[in-house]
């Protein structure tokens, strides 16, 4: 089974922030350590196969999304942690760096985990050009599988045709999106629906278990994308209601008679869905 392991690595707490050139250097060092790795073997765990990875470096460290094939979640997490720690230990310029977080997200479909991008936000006062987002490392065969999965998912979208995604038959090719690109965009929207719903439900469970609001939990999966000025109101009760709105608006995408958002919550859910779909488009590159 495939797992997407989200890893956060950072230098010592008292280390100075990285500039743009240093971000590129960290990206290159980590990528060099990961490229060419096929299996991650640990004596106490079954072998774990590395499928691909994506990385984003920023002024305070790096975020990685490492996709592996493993027999169990614990094996995937343990194998990836061991790999990243080994890469850091072998690289002298990364001396003092450490793994802050190594969490596993179960992939519902083979392609989904691999397309979850690790998004890094620049530190306060830094411009967005301080963030270095590397291209996903996947083989052409893997990308072809992802494209096929998205094309299949596109068939479930009934509310909009390909013209809504930029494909207009009869017009010059240079002035429109290709049929393939439009199909992949439609598929990305459909593939993102289950991901968004899962994230909202996970946020609801997190807020309920911690008895807190989004203002006190910056690690939420979906609710962090809502207007921040109301974060104190985003508690477990709100999250459950928002989940209902999310399910309602996404379900209507499969209906040929499209009915737009009926309330502000559905409008926000639709906006989050579009943002959730963006990383899926990477497989068209």
User: Residues 171-203: pLDDT tens digits?
Assistant: 776 667 888 889 999 998 998 898 899 889 989
Over residues 222-250, mean pLDDT: 93
Residue range 199-230, pLDDT digits in tens: 899 899 999 999 999 998 877 889 988 998 99
For residue 246, what pLDDT is reported?
A: 94
- pLDDT band, residue 126 (cuts 50/70/90): very low
For residue 130, what pLDDT is reported?
A: 45
- pLDDT band, residue 121 (cuts 50/70/90): very low
Of 125 and 218, the structure prediction assigns the larger pLDDT to 218
For residue 116, what pLDDT is reported?
A: 41
Of 46 and 66, the structure prediction assigns the larger pLDDT to 66
Domain 2-121 part of CATH 3.40.50.2300: no
Residue 119: pLDDT above 50?
no
Average pLDDT, the chain: 79
Convert 12-28 to b/e letters by CB count within 10 Å (16 or more is b).
Answer: eeeeebbeeebbebbbe
For residue 120, what pLDDT is reported?
A: 39
For residue 53, what pLDDT is reported?
A: 82
Over residues 12-19, mean pLDDT: 86
Residue 2: pLDDT above 60?
yes
- pLDDT band, residue 157 (cuts 50/70/90): very high
Q: What is the CA radius of gyration of the chain?
A: 20
Distance CA 194, CA 156 (A): 13
Domain ranges of the chain: 2-121, 141-280
Over residues 151-159, mean pLDDT: 91
Greatest mean pLDDT among 13-17, 47-51, 141-145, 209-213: 209-213
- pLDDT band, residue 139 (cuts 50/70/90): low
Question: Using an 8 Å Cβ cutoff, are 20 and 130 in contact?
Answer: yes
Distance CA 133, CA 155 (A): 31
Question: Using an 8 Å Cβ cutoff, are 277 and 195 in contact?
Answer: no
Over residues 250-261, mean pLDDT: 92
Over residues 93-117, mean pLDDT: 63
Alpha-carbon distance values, 223 to 8, 191, 215 (Å): 20, 19, 10
Query: What is the three-class DSSP state of 56?
Result: strand
């Amino acid at each position: 089974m495939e797992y997407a392991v989200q890893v956060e690595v950072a230098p010592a707490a008292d280390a100075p922030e990285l500039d743009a050139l240093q971000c590129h250097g960290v990206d290159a060092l980590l990528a060099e350590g990961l490229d060419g790795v096929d299996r991650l073997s640990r004596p106490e765990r079954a072998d774990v196969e590395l499928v691909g990875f994506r990385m984003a470096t920023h002024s305070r460290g790096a975020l990685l999304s490492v996709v592996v094939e493993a027999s169990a979640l614990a094996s995937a997490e343990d194998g990836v942690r061991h790999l990243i720690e080994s890469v850091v230990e072998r690289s002298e310029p990364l001396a003092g760096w450490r793994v802050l977080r190594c969490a596993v997200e179960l992939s519902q479909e083979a392609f989904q985990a691999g397309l979850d991008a690790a998004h890094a936000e620049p530190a306060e006062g830094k411009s967005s050009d301080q963030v270095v987002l590397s291209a996903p490392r996947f083989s052409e065969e893997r990308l072809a599988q992802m494209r096929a999965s998205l094309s299949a998912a596109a068939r479930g979208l009934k509310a909009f045709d390909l013209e809504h995604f930029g494909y207009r038959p009869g017009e010059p090719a240079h002035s429109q999106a290709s049929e393939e690109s439009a199909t992949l965009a439609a598929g990305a929207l459909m593939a993102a629906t289950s991901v968004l719903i899962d994230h909202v439900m996970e946020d609801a469970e997190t807020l309920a278990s911690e008895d807190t609001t989004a203002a006190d939990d910056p690690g939420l999966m979906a609710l962090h994308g809502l207007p921040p000025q109301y974060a104190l109101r985003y508690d477990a009760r709100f999250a459950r209601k928002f989940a209902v709105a999310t399910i309602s608006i996404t379900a209507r995408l499969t209906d040929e008679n499209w009915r737009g958002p009926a309330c502000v919550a559905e409008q926000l859910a639709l906006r989050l869905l579009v943002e959730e779909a963006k990383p899926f488009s990477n497989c068209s590159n």
